[in-house]
Amino acid sequence: MKKNWESPSSQESDAGTTRERLIKAGIEEFYEKGYKQASLRKICAACGVTTGAFYFHFSGKQQLFSAIVEPVIEQWTCLGNTLADRELKDQSTALDNDRAMMDLELRHRREILILLEKSSGSGKENFLDNLKQGLKKHFMTHFTTAIGHVPNPEFIQLLVDMRIYGNIQLLKGNYNRAQTLFFNDLLAHYAEGGFTYLIQNCKERL
């Protein structure tokens, strides 16, 4: 009589597949409902698994949320730091840097929008504020280098808000990839022109 058994590698593969399906369903639920309103029961139902199967892979909603957003945060932060250093050394790389960042954001569009707009109540609910602080620090350094003195921090905060919320609108827009990258390029050119104008004509007032 033939024994009914599965190899350890097959069992690991099934477990990996279930975990991946839970993550995929979690992205959809968090994106639609936000962290606070997201339902583990609906996530499990979307995957066709029991809540027991869910708890085999994750301790709860927060751990699932972290599994979704933390790899993206790591990639986003690493790339952002690399591009910021590159731009400080060579301003001519600004447009290419913007394209590289938007390319990553498009690959993880829903995860990033979850972080920026739908993470209230989670362990990452301060992510947007931290992002603003980091970008403000970069802008302050960039302008200080260009104009020879520390710029008005309130004005720099306005620029940061414009930059971040412009990106959010691009990611939320009903555009295909080519359109999004095209609009991103236009905004980058606009920002570059504005930066050049400010350092040439408003240096003493900044």
pLDDT digits (tens, 9 = 90+) for 90-102: 888 888 999 999 9
Average pLDDT over residues 102-106: 95
Check whether 75 has a pLDDT greater than 90: yes
Q: What is the pLDDT of residue 116?
A: 96
CB 172 within 8 A of CB 183: no
| C-alpha closest to that of 198 among 161, 143, 145 | 143
- Looking at residue 7, its pLDDT comes to 42
pLDDT in tens, 14-54: 656 999 999 999 999 999 999 999 999 999 999 999 999 99
The mean pLDDT of 121-126, rounded to a whole number, is 96
The answer to whether the CB of 105 falls within 8 A of the CB of 175 is no
- In this structure, the number of other CB atoms found within 10 A of the CB of residue 103 comes to 14
CA angle in degrees (0–180, nearest 5) for 82-84-86: 70
Task: Please give the model's pTM, rounded to 2 decimal places.
Answer: 0.87
The whole-angstrom separation of Cα 201 and Cα 205 is: 9
Residue 72 pLDDT > 70:
yes
CA distance 126 to 74: 16
| Mean per-residue pLDDT, 76-96 | 87
Count how many Cα atoms sit within 13 Å of the Cα of residue 175 in the half-sphere of its side chain: 17
Question: What is the rounded CA–CA span in Å between residue 41 and residue 135?
Answer: 37
Give the pLDDT of residue 3.
Answer: 42
pLDDT value at 88 more than 90: no
Q: By mean pLDDT, which of 9-18, 60-69, 99-108, 197-206 is the weakest?
A: 9-18
pLDDT, residue 1, reads 41
CATH fold label, 68-205: Tetracycline Repressor; domain 2 (1.10.357)
Element (H, E) at 54: helix 51-57
pLDDT band at 80; cut points 50, 70, 90: confident
User: What are the residue ranges spanned by the domains of the chain?
Assistant: 68-205
**Does the pLDDT value for residue 9 go beyond 80?**
no
Mean pLDDT of 69-87: 91
pLDDT of residue 206: 92
Q: Read off the pLDDT of each residue in 59-78 and give the average, rounded to a whole number.
A: 96
Residue 6: pLDDT above 90? no
